[in-house]
Structure 1
């Protein structure tokens, strides 16, 4: 897998040839990062991602060296120079060995769900783990490697993290929502990474008249859930057909309505921002 794609990337504000890209920072135990999706040349929900990046820097007590307005311009520049229509962009911030802030902005590989996965749903597995600072998007290499290994060994799409209380918090790379008796349930924001897709899913649910409840979800309560789905930058709204040995309805009517409403919100954003990105 190539970490950096395209012809150009940005290092500390300077446009460089990807032939010179150094990915040694990936072995760092912790680094701050943000990933967002580009559709039709538009960085989706870019303002929200940059706001979350600022919040992560605050929580991690990291001085980024660049503000959101500067980063916004760098992202637009990267899209223009690479003539990027579709893909994912990653922003990485860290401190070098001498304590200086370092910034990389680049196109990274992506894996979007297939049409079949959206139709039939995906398999998940419960995994006992929790992130120490869930509201901050800081790479936890040890946890990422552990969940990747389990997913590969068990041939599942994603793992759902279960904390010490026995409650489901989030996916290793996603947020999770449950449907029961007409309600949409998701774990409390204090216990998860506040995903950008999560935010807009909750907005479209409420705009559609659905009740959205943030509450703890014990793993044992899965048996009473009618359906569930995961959300994320690359996944958008992705139905789940199985968690461990429990089967769920990947075509639940409420879930289909949420998927369509979210896709409309994405289309609206792209239409409104195409001019500013052109």
Structure 2
């Protein structure tokens, strides 16, 4: 498999990133996962813009323009003969041979690489019959609006769900005895109650690209959507629940812990259909 590293195409197995890279030693970096299909990269501009804004926030140099990255990404997809896949982008602060907590000298070059991978396998039954969620405390830092590579809490949450036979974790933060839903290990959540859609507002959670597209769809369909702090109890009491992400797209939820929901309810079905139309026509 080919990879793209700092302006060159390299063989992924050549292991050309130095061990002292700050992405490895400090998780000092950012990433994006972008869906690709039939040689197209979906919503590339939105993903790249989010990474660039976060890079500016953390003062990490992005040495390539969006045009250069997209051109190289398309070549990478072609080199790896990816028909239906995922494009992974990672940007780190670069290599620091001394492993110093202090930022490296200003002339230190950042590291940027891309992988073009086949789409991970997801059971098609998940979209038909829904998936199970398990509530899990959100153990992350206070920089969740940025897609950093500090993903250990997400890994713990998702593997808790996997160990219990679930698909994803419904992460929450507790405040004054109330449990407020944030997001999943790699998903955003929506619920429907009395025809009104609710989704957790962007308060130390990632503003997901798919989340944004789905909010636009809900509005275009003429439904009311409220972004606010949403409790776990509100989710448990909902009529319909669904999750969204780059890879999962729009996926119905059939249960949270011991509570079950109507699957492929009217509103979820409507949003799924509209997103699929957008998905297969996007460039």
Report the TM-score when normalising by structure 1.
Answer: 0.88
Match 2:245 to one of 218, 232, 240: 232
Say which SS state the counterpart of residue 33 (structure 2) adopts. Answer: strand
1:11-38 deviation digits (Å, cap 9, x = unpaired): 1010112231457677545231000111
| Root mean square deviation of aligned Cα | 1.9
Instruction: State the match for 2:221 in structure 1.
Output: 208
Instruction: State the match for 2:128 in structure 1.
Output: 119
Instruction: State the match for 2:258 in structure 1.
Output: 245
Match 1:74 to one of 72, 75, 80: 72
Within 1, Cα distance between the matches of 2:151 and 2:199? 26
Instruction: State the match for 2:144 in structure 1.
Output: 134
Bigger fraction of residues in helix: 1
Work out whether 1:256 is the aligned partner of 2:269.
Answer: yes
Say which SS state the counterpart of residue 206 (structure 2) adopts. Answer: coil
Match 1:13 to one of 2, 7, 23: 7
Within 2, Cα distance between the matches of 1:29 and 1:174? 25
Match 1:220 to one of 233, 246, 258: 233
Structure 2 regions of 5+ residues with no counterpart? 97-103
Within 2, Cα distance between the matches of 1:176 and 1:22? 38
Work out whether 1:151 is the aligned partner of 2:161.
Answer: yes
Q: How does 1:40-119 map to 2 (within 5 A)?
A: 40-98=38-96, 99=104, 100-108=109-117, 110-119=119-128
Within 2, Cα distance between the matches of 1:76 and 1:122? 33
1:108-141 deviation digits (Å, cap 9, x = unpaired): 3543532211111111111111442121000223
Conserved 8 A contact 2:84-2:118? no
- Number of equivalences: 264
Conserved 8 A contact 1:112-1:234? no
Within 2, Cα distance between the matches of 1:113 and 1:249? 21
Report the TM-score when normalising by structure 2.
Answer: 0.87
Does 21-30 or 201-210 show the bigger shift?
A: 21-30
Within 2, Cα distance between the matches of 1:96 and 1:63? 9
> After TM superposition, what 4+ stretches of structure 1 lie above 4 angstroms from structure 2?
22-29
1:181-224 deviation digits (Å, cap 9, x = unpaired): 11111111233211111111111111111111101101122232
Compared CA separation, residues 74 and 20, structure 1 to 2 (3 A): same
